[in-house]
Structure 1
Amino acid sequence: MKPATRRLGASLALAAALLASAAAIATAEDSELVIFDWSGYEAPEFHPGYIAKHGQSPTFTFFGDEDEAFEKIRSGFKTDLGHPCSQSVVKWREAGLLEPLDTSKIEGWKDLNPGIMKMKDLATDESGTAWFMPWDWGNTLLTYNSEKVSADDIKSLKSLADPKFKDRVSIGDNVDDAYALASLVIGLKDWTQMTDEQFSQASAFLREVHKNVRLYWTDSTEIVQALSGGEVDLAWAWNDAAVQSAAAGAPIKNTRDTAEGQSTWVCGYVRLKGAPGSADKAYDFLNSVNAPEVASFLLSDWGYGHADAKSMASIDPAVVEAQGYADVEKFVDKTLFQAPVPVTLKQKMIEEFEKIKAGY
């Protein structure tokens, strides 16, 4: 059985437990390092060096989205490392939740992708202080059942609102991905400058999509199961949804060829202020996830790029091309990068998206 298939089976078994708690503990192993992460990233293939050195994995707890994670940490939840994405880093930092990174202890720091590292307000602030180690990057893009949906029906992201797909659509229960989708549809590539009129247009489109939505997926396990099981035929989902579904034998594909494009995000690791565990083990973990074999697993089994350019360069070119990363310029063409948005705009998005999901 392929690793992706094994992971999918394990994730499906885990899903029920995750419903009971937003911070369910998947593996209570090394108590000296607790990582607050997305479900699935506890896979030992992501940190083999840590296991080799310490004899076990860290302890992992999970969140459904970054806003949930932010509120939990702000309310006093203690953890050592977190895994937010590009659109949330500034918010977490300005809220005083983060501890600066000592880049001298991160072996692959100088090998991180230059294009990612130069993005404003991401890895470092204006003073040069590092707060975030970019690690995984990829897309939210149109994903579909190739046996039920024709290529002619998915030339535009607007297909998600086409009445012919009523009750056959799923988008993430994630405000960032939702408004990235809507921004692309209204022709907006830089959502940090969204006007009130554009916000209204984007929200109106999401209301049209809502009419077709069968479910708002909360994690990769749920959307993979929905697509593979035939519950939905069209989705706005992350790269791994198609990769894992195909590994399980389902006819699920994604496309970057829509008229409006796709959304690109970068996620990575941060140290939390007041972290109760071992700082040395935190850096051991950060070093372990930057290894070449980890980049290969991330790309081949999840469909995501690795931020360590040196590790990416070590991967079989055929695998890189198969996942669409051979031409980075083409990869990010027609894309909306999920950069941090102003706090007031983000709060508007959160409040409006809740109304949309409730049918208002």
Structure 2
Amino acid sequence: MRKLCNVAISAVTCLGLLSQAFAASAGELNILTWEGYAADAFISKFEEGSGCKVTASYVGSNDDFAAKLAAGGGVYDIITPSLDTVSMMRQAGFVQPIDTAKVEGYGDIYPEFSKSSDIVADGETWAVPLVWGSVSLIYRPDKFATPPDSIGVLFDPANKGKISMWDDKSAIYWTARYLGYDNVFDLSDEQLEAVKAKLIEQKPLVRKYWSSAGELTELMANQEVFVSNAWTGLTSKDVNNLKKGFEVVEFTPKEKAEGWMDSMMLVKDTPNEECAYKFMSFMNSAGGQCGIAASTGYFPVNPKAVDGCMDAEMKKERQVGNIDFVKSLVMWQQPKRLDKYLEVWNAVKAAP
């Protein structure tokens, strides 16, 4: 616990982290989430049907959840971290168990997600799967004589100044795979040093580390960068919809793409539990699942819920029922030595 609290936020003691005073009022729901996860197109329907007013704040990295919760103020009721962060939220004491009986349609969620060892631990369920997808590579085909097929495109000096990377510890996963390491979530000290050296070597090639999908969209739309890793489906859709006279294309590198799944977690001692469970049920319904899929381009976790709101073409595009695709990805896990990974990533960013 001491190590986890130190990782979460060094400036605040564990006692402070676990003793937040909540100020939100009943009938309100404050969500700490990702871009596109609280779009008015579907959130307004939830508000009308539930009587619960939603206020959303956004993160650009999974590392933001601990820092924002640790800051206190009692402003969050639900958080939506990725699978590699769920265990840390539980172990740090930020969240409370989920009563799945209060989440309508919970049994229809892919068991590969709902029964994950990160979701179900210590005899309790700690999160409700929300949406999933992959992290692939995105590039401008008109800027490359030969289509790239490897993570190596992010480390090629020929692309100096036109490369971007997500400002997230997952940069370590990408680099480790590029260096040929299979144990990307349990790297040795020697391997981590090699990864750090490679990322520092790459740094002069990087135009900017992006912190949100919107920022990456701007970088590509303004022709500042030509290649980056990206959340599959979202940035390509947004850039191409701008019709700037060029298109961007996604591809899965030969080293494989990463896979992720974001879940809804109930912040400990929230006074808005009733609204929180209504929200979880809505997001697991057709309105929520098709709504978030339309907003983001990501994939639903409940195939039954989307049966009537997605046509056959959209179901194929969003991998509905295609669990084999999940198995083809390097699915995120919490690194065995999370503190060490964060230390390495911070050292890379601090390097000249």
Q: What is the TM-score when the length of structure 2 is the normalising length?
A: 0.85
Task: Please tell me whether the aligned partners of residues 85 and 334 of structure 2 are also in contact (alpha carbons under 8 angstroms).
Answer: yes
SS in 1 for 2:196: helix
1:216 alignment partner AA:
Y
Shift of 1:89: 0.8
1:88 alignment partner AA:
T
Question: What is the number of equivalent residue pairs in this alignment?
Answer: 324
| C-alpha distance in 1 between matches for 2:72 and 2:54 | 20
Deviations 1:151-177 (A, max 9, x none): x341110110000100001111111x2
Task: Please tell me whether the aligned partners of residues 170 and 232 of structure 1 are also in contact (alpha carbons under 8 angstroms).
Answer: yes
Aligned to 1:62: 58
Aligned to 2:350: 358
1:219 alignment partner AA:
S
* 1:211 maps to 2:204: yes
* 1:237 maps to 2:230: yes
The 1:114–1:82 alpha-carbon spacing in structure 2 relative to 1, beyond 3 Å, is same
* 1:322 maps to 2:317: yes
Task: Please tell me whether the aligned partners of residues 84 and 334 of structure 2 are also in contact (alpha carbons under 8 angstroms).
Answer: yes
| C-alpha distance in 2 between matches for 1:305 and 1:68 | 23
Instruction: Choose from 194, 215, 225 the match for 2:187.
Output: 194
Q: What is the TM-score when the length of structure 1 is the normalising length?
A: 0.83
Q: List gaps (5 residues or longer) in structure 1.
A: 1-27
SS in 2 for 1:191: coil
* 1:163 maps to 2:181: no
Shift of 1:130: 0.8
Task: Please tell me whether the aligned partners of residues 186 and 198 of structure 1 are also in contact (alpha carbons under 8 angstroms).
Answer: no
Q: CA RMSD of the aligned region, Å?
A: 2.3
Instruction: Choose from 278, 281, 294 the match for 2:288.
Output: 294
* 1:268 maps to 2:263: yes
| C-alpha distance in 2 between matches for 1:164 and 1:351 | 29
SS in 2 for 1:42: coil
The 1:311–1:248 alpha-carbon spacing in structure 2 relative to 1, beyond 3 Å, is farther
Aligned to 2:97: 100
Shift of 1:93: 0.5
Shift of 1:254: 0.7
The 1:209–1:237 alpha-carbon spacing in structure 2 relative to 1, beyond 3 Å, is farther
Instruction: Choose from 46, 52, 56 the match for 1:50.
Output: 46
The 1:188–1:118 alpha-carbon spacing in structure 2 relative to 1, beyond 3 Å, is farther
| C-alpha distance in 2 between matches for 1:328 and 1:111 | 14
| C-alpha distance in 2 between matches for 1:116 and 1:42 | 22
2:282 alignment partner AA:
S
Q: List gaps (5 residues or longer) in structure 2.
A: 1-23
Shift of 1:308: 1.3
SS in 2 for 1:154: coil
| C-alpha distance in 1 between matches for 2:159 and 2:297 | 26
* 1:109 maps to 2:106: yes
The 1:155–1:298 alpha-carbon spacing in structure 2 relative to 1, beyond 3 Å, is same
Aligned to 1:146: 141
Task: Please tell me whether the aligned partners of residues 49 and 288 of structure 1 are also in contact (alpha carbons under 8 angstroms).
Answer: no
Aligned to 2:338: 346
Percent same amino acid at aligned positions?
A: 24
2:159 alignment partner AA:
F
Deviations 1:209-235 (A, max 9, x none): 322110111111100111122110000
The 1:31–1:295 alpha-carbon spacing in structure 2 relative to 1, beyond 3 Å, is closer
My pick for the range that moved more, 283-292 or 245-254, is: 245-254
| C-alpha distance in 2 between matches for 1:107 and 1:158 | 44
Deviations 1:115-161 (A, max 9, x none): 2223222x21141x1111111111111111122234x3411101100
Instruction: Choose from 82, 86, 107 the match for 1:85.
Output: 82
The 1:300–1:281 alpha-carbon spacing in structure 2 relative to 1, beyond 3 Å, is closer
